[in-house]
Amino acid sequence: MSFLMDSSYLCTALEGLSSPRQSGARRKPGGQEVIMNWIILIVAGLCEVGFTYCLGRAKGISGTEYWTWMGGFALLYVLSAVLLAKATQTIALGTAYPVWTGIGTVGAVVVGIFIFREPATFWRLFFLTTLIGSIIGLKALS
């Protein structure tokens, strides 16, 4: 009972109760953690490109090959979403989500043009360029 009367013990116990982890407050991320989450966000965007590639490859086929490509689609889709969720721990959702979808969109258009031989019209490339500029702008402002 004498330890309850000791003010230093009581102060130490109260400090432990007010720590950020126990009070629910978010801790400020370090620089390396933010950089790592940007890398994770880029990988998540590339996974989105991967699942659109799998979707394109599954088009017009059937049987085991179809289900193999759709399995790859499902795996990359889930991995992309999980990595996006991880990245939003230090990157604002209003920045992370547009960057994630932008990487996926740009990648899907590039894959469509170079792998699936989709048309590369002036307007398509023009709007792709403006999208890339917007992604860079969001990153610069975050």
Other beta carbons within 10 angstroms of residue 85's beta carbon come to 13
SS3 state of residue 11: helix
Residue ranges making up the domain that contains 126: 27-141
Residue 34 CA to residue 20 CA, distance in Å, equals 19
Per-residue pLDDT of 2-32, as tens digits, reads 444 444 443 444 344 333 444 444 556 678 8
d(CA 133, CA 9): 57
127 assigned to some structural domain: yes
Domain total of the chain:
1
15 falls within a domain: no
How confident is the model over 75-90, as pLDDT tens digits?
999 999 999 999 999 9
Residue 8 within any structural domain of the chain: no
Q: What's residue 28's pLDDT?
A: 65
Distance of alpha carbon 111 from alpha carbon 119, whole angstroms: 11
pLDDT for 9 equals 40
Residue 93 falls inside a structural domain: yes
d(CA 116, CA 137) in angstroms, rounded, equals 29
**Does 108 fall in a domain?**
yes
Position 85 in a domain: yes
pLDDT at 23: 42
> What is the residue whose two structure tokens read 């792998």?
115
The amino acid present at 130, given as its one-letter code, is T
pLDDT number for residue 85: 97
What's this model's pTM, rounded to 2 decimal places? 0.73
